[in-house]
Amino acid sequence: MSMFKGERGRGEDVDLVIQQLEEAVEILQLPETAFYLLSTPEREVRTRITIKMDNGEPAVFPAYRILWNSACGPGKGGLRFHPEETVGMIRKLAALMSWKTAVVGLPLGGAKGGVKCDVKRLSVSEKERICRQYVRRFYDVLGPRLDVPAPDVYVDSRMIGWMLDEYELRNGGKEPGVITGKPLELGGSSARFEATARGGVYVLRAAARRLGVELEGKTVAIQGYGNAGGHFHRLAEEILGLKIVAVSDSSGAIYNSHGLSASEIGQCKAETGSVIHWREADQMANWELLELDVDVLVPAALGDVITMENAESIKASMVLELANGPTTREADKILAERNITVLPDMLSSAGGVTVSYFEQVQNASNYYWPKKKVLTLLDQKMCEGLEKLMKMADKHGVDNRMAAYLVAVQKVYQAMVLRGWL
Ligand code: GLU
């Protein structure tokens, strides 16, 4: 692997996924050029967005879109609007998207984008100006057959609606498949808003069945209460009968051994802005939630929260990763040694992109499916993904994360070979 090693920046977030990729490439005994193609982006566009704030002052925001690999199809992946955004983080997540789409067998590649900005401090009209300008800046690299964005951290369906509108104004015709996660009225898919959480529920259910574990009444701690964590709370109660005893958001965590109801916590979050204002619970720090004695731990916020420092203290017997990249490689190894079942992000958080794919299929045919059909097909895709992963884990005697890498890397590698790239 030495020949190309010097070409990447050092100490970046992307390094972690590259290390894991390197292990996968070695296990599969792929050639060095394959590693090079898999470990570097196909295209990176970096620019900045300049808008006038409501008070008339100019403001500048760095903006990115990175297409990691398109061997299996057009780039696909969300847009993050985060105050700490870095190009290294977008690279890491663009790579992860390439493996995620491959694990669930979608005819798509992987990409990611974002704007470094603090959405919580922007007015609605400032947000709209940033969204519209993002599309104008990246117009040439976006398209249903090129690269298709979607929501991610701090990007919601309303923002997606503005971006669709801006693209179509410039394009001159309707092109709903250029972006997913749209509001239903603009060509969105039913169940897309809760798809990440639902995908996680289906993976957990299928994994528990395989392990012979009865989920009803089991305890859960959910870290993060955004789109993934909030909907997971409700669906895990409704579909699996799980007892959610702890939840958190960026302000802190709460715990009640008798359980927390999704409707009450959802209402509290909507009305007060945070779950921590729920009175019938004890408050705790976010790190304490991760170490609670529960059956299932669900990291559903940002990356790198289960690390070498706390992996020994995790007490859950299953970790369902709804966030992108919540566990570091060192932590992964510790969890595996301690026989904790990790259901890795590449599969567990793939419900969102899977329904995004269904959304594009519906857009292309201009025919919209009933929710039941979307849910049945989503369940099927998630179960197929889990089966492939488990088979790979058995075949190579590796942990679940490495098995997911092997499934993904093998698929993308084959697509590259068939295209004549290798
Ligand atoms: N942002 C989501 C993810 O990380 C969804 C991506 C998509 O729908 O394209 O998987």
Per-residue model confidence as pLDDT tens digits over 387-410: 999 999 999 999 999 999 999 999
Asked whether residue 10 carries a pLDDT value surpassing 60, the answer given is no
pLDDT of residue 262: 98
- Strands in 335-390 per DSSP E: 341-343
CA distances from 398 to 35, 63, 337, 390 (A): 20, 37, 11, 10
Contact 131, 163 (CB under 8 A): yes
Query: 201 pLDDT exceeds 70?
Result: yes
pLDDT of residue 44 exceeding 50, the answer is yes
Q: What is the best residue among 81, 348, 353, 374 to mutate for testing ligand 1's pocket, by most ligand atoms within 8 Å of CB?
A: 353
Tokens of 81: 């609007």
Q: 150 CB under 6 A from ligand 1?
A: yes
Asked whether 322 lines ligand 1 (CB < 6 A), one says no
In what order do the strands lie in the sheet containing 318-320? 282-284, 252-255, 243-249, 219-223, 296-299, 318-320, 341-343
Q: For residues 49-74, give the mean pLDDT.
A: 98
Q: At what angle do helices 400-418 and 32-39 cross, to 10 degrees?
A: 100
**Residue 273 alpha carbon to ligand 1 centre in Å:** 24
Q: Report the nearest atom of ligand 1 relative to the CA of 355.
A: 8
308 and 330 Cβ atoms separated by less than 8 Å: yes
d(CA 142, CA 316): 41
Q: How confident is the model at residue 151 (pLDDT cuts 50, 70, 90)?
A: very high
- List the end-to-end C-alpha distance of the chain, in Å, as a whole number: 16
Tally of CA atoms within 13 A in the half-sphere of 391 that contains its CB: 8
pLDDT of residue 9: 43
Cβ-proximal residues to 105 (8 Å cutoff; 6+ apart), any chain: 381, 384, 385, 388, 411
The residue whose CB lies within 8 Å of the most ligand 1 atoms, and thus the one to mutate among 152, 321, 359, is: 152
Query: Which class would CATH give 194-348?
Result: alpha beta
Q: In ligand 1, which atom is closest to the CA atom of 78? A: 1
* CA–centroid distance, residue 280 to ligand 1 (Å): 34
* Measured distance CA(118)–CA(82) in Å, rounded: 6
Which residue of the set 92, 100, 112, 182 is catalytic? 112
Distance 147 CA to ligand 1 centre (A): 12
Burial class of residue 390, CB neighbours in 10 A (0-12, 13-18, 19+)? middle
Angle between helices 227-240 and 195-211 (to 10 degrees): 50
What is the CA(151)–ligand 1 centre distance, in A?
6
Mean predicted confidence (pLDDT) in 287-316: 95
Q: What separation in Å is there between the alpha carbon of 374 and the centre of ligand 1?
A: 16
pLDDT value of position 11? 52
**Mutation choice for ligand 1 from 68, 82, 93, 97, CB with most ligand atoms inside 8 A:** 97
Residue 5 is predicted with a pLDDT of 42
**Cα 344 from Cα 164, distance rounded (Å):** 31
Q: Where is average pLDDT lowest: 8-12, 85-89, 112-116, 202-206?
A: 8-12
Nearest ligand 1 atom, CA 79: 1
- What Rg value do the Cα atoms of the chain yield, rounded? 21
Q: Is the pLDDT of residue 3 over 60?
A: no
Can you give the pLDDT at residue 17? 80
Q: Which residue's structure tokens are 């895990």?
A: 236
Task: Write the residue with the smallest CA distance to atom 7 of ligand 1.
Answer: 353
The answer to whether the CB of 151 falls within 8 A of the CB of 228 is no
To the question of domain 41-177 being in CATH 3.40.50.10860, the answer is yes
Which three-class secondary structure state does DSSP give residue 41?
coil
Answer yes or no: 127 catalytic. Answer: no
Each residue's pLDDT tens digit, 306-357: 999 999 999 999 999 999 999 988 999 999 999 999 999 999 999 999 999 9
Segment 190-199, tens digit of pLDDT:
999 999 999 9
The answer to whether 254 and 282 are in contact (CB under 8 A) is yes
Alpha helices in 52-211 (DSSP H): 87-103, 124-138, 157-171, 195-211
Q: Tell me the average pLDDT of the chain.
A: 95
Q: How confident is the model at residue 16 (pLDDT cuts 50, 70, 90)?
A: confident
Indicate whether residue 152 lines ligand 1 (CB < 6 A).
Answer: yes
Please check the confidence at residue 123 and state whether its pLDDT lies above 70: yes
User: Is any ligand 1 atom within 6 A of the Cβ of residue 353?
Assistant: yes
The CB of 177 under 6 Å from ligand 1? The reply is: no
Regarding the beta carbon of 180 and ligand 1, being less than 6 Å apart is answered: yes
Residue-range domain boundaries for the chain: 41-177, 194-348
pLDDT of 8 above 70: no
Looking up tokens 């971006």 gives 163
Of 15-19, 54-58, 290-294, the range with the lowest mean pLDDT is: 15-19
Query: Which ligand 1 atom sits closest to the C-alpha of 100?
Result: 10
348 lines ligand 1 (CB under 6 A): no
* Each residue's pLDDT tens digit, 175-192: 999 999 999 999 999 999
Percent of the chain residues past pLDDT 90, beyond the cut = 93
0.75 surpassed by pTM: yes
Residue 112's pLDDT is what?
Answer: 98
Q: How far apart are CA 117 and CA 62, in angstroms?
A: 8
The larger pLDDT score, comparing residue 5 to residue 201, is at 201
Confidence of residue 2 (pLDDT cuts 50, 70, 90): very low
Q: What is the pLDDT of residues 229-266, one digit of tens each?
A: 999 999 999 999 999 999 999 999 999 999 999 999 99
pLDDT the model gives residue 342: 97
